[in-house]
Amino acid sequence: MAGREHELNPVSHITTGAIGPAGKRVFYLQARSDAEFVTLIVEKAQVQSLAIGLEQYLQELQQRYPSLEEASPEFDEAAMALEVPLDPAFRVGQLGLGYDEASDHLVLVASELQVEGADPEEAAVVRFWCTRSQLRAMCRWGIEVAGRGRPICGNCGEPIDPEGHFCPKRNGHKH
């Protein structure tokens, strides 16, 4: 990816996914436009927060523009698979959303994670211009992928590793 700022406008495909065993997965955000392909590393929590934030944002847009058709959350699981090889441009530090009424496209802005004390103006930025349905489907898929991780302990709410976990609510007894 050349340059510090990059735009895929419009994207022909956008997805998220995870590679690795439960508890050690690496999450990715990936998009393609006609001739360009970008992969970024994201955190599971960023995928989950984006999905929640997008649903709220879509509700706000619907109130502001009542004539907008509802964005479809439908996706084809096979089509949402990550493309390999994975060659991430950077690790995402911040995600943001915007909307362009004229094109009826959302923009997902991904900014590079910066080391402490670095100038935020130096962060690489990628803007992904998507239809509302493309982004909503990606977020729904992202929630599905995030949910495929380790099971959650019903007592303490922490993830359970394959070898079990020490639950503070059970006085540290392994289960």
* DSSP code per residue over 37-66: EEEEEE-HHHHHHHHHHHHHHHHHHHHH-T
Determine the pLDDT at residue 174.
54
Q: How confident is the model at residue 116 (pLDDT cuts 50, 70, 90)?
A: confident
Determine the pLDDT at residue 122.
86
To the nearest 10°, the Cα dihedral for 134, 91, 38, 47?
Answer: -10
Per-residue pLDDT at 162 exceeds 70: no
User: Where is pLDDT greater, at 40 or 152?
Assistant: 40
Fold observed for domain 5-170:
Secreted effector protein pipB2 fold (3.30.2450)
Question: Which residues make beta-bridge pairs with 15?
Answer: 30
Number of H helices and E strands in the chain, helices first, is 2, 7
Delimit the domains of the chain by residue range.
Answer: 5-170
The backbone torsions φ and ψ at residue 68, rounded to the nearest 5 degrees and listed phi first, read -65, 135
Percent of the chain past pLDDT 90, that is, above it, reads 67
